[in-house]
Amino acid sequence: YQTPPAIAVPKDSTISGSSPDDLKGKALGVQTATIHQKFADQKYAGSTVKAYPTGEDARTDMANGRLDAMMDGSIILTEWLKKPDGACCKLLGTLTADPAIHGPGVGIALQKGNKELADKLNAAIDALRANGKYKEINDKYFSFDVYGS
């Protein structure tokens, strides 16, 4: 599955898009030494990227008005926005992950060479996607498609 990066902004923000041009000259918070910092440094060079020791520190500065936007994992931001300390902000959108930075996504570890089990798992996932059950489950918990499509 995929956990694409996302951008959150204060609810009263005039920023309307999540592209590098939309955030040019803006203070963009990220957690230090994460794929989000690497992505922001490479793709949002026109922003003032502010790195924090923890994502919580970045979210605190966002809530206190010291950031124009912040980038983190879409699941993390979506869940934060549901809590009282995230009431200050809104999700601007999820971003397209860069495979060179974010990798291929999250997977399931299987015994090396167990093609039979891998094929069965892939067939089960394909069946859930084909019959609509995947979408039903996904939409119950997420506002975006964790499959990455």
Full set of structural domains in the chain with CATH: 5-102 (3.40.190.10), 107-148 (no CATH)
In this prediction, residue 149 carries a pLDDT of 59
Average pLDDT of the residues in 64-93? 95
How sure is the predictor about 146, in pLDDT bands with cuts at 50, 70 and 90?
confident
Averaged confidence pLDDT in the chain: 94
Report pLDDT digits (tens) over 15-70. 999 999 999 999 999 999 999 999 999 999 999 999 999 999 999 999 999 999 99
Query: 17: exposed, middle or buried (C-beta count within 10 Å: 0-12, 13-18, 19+)?
Result: exposed
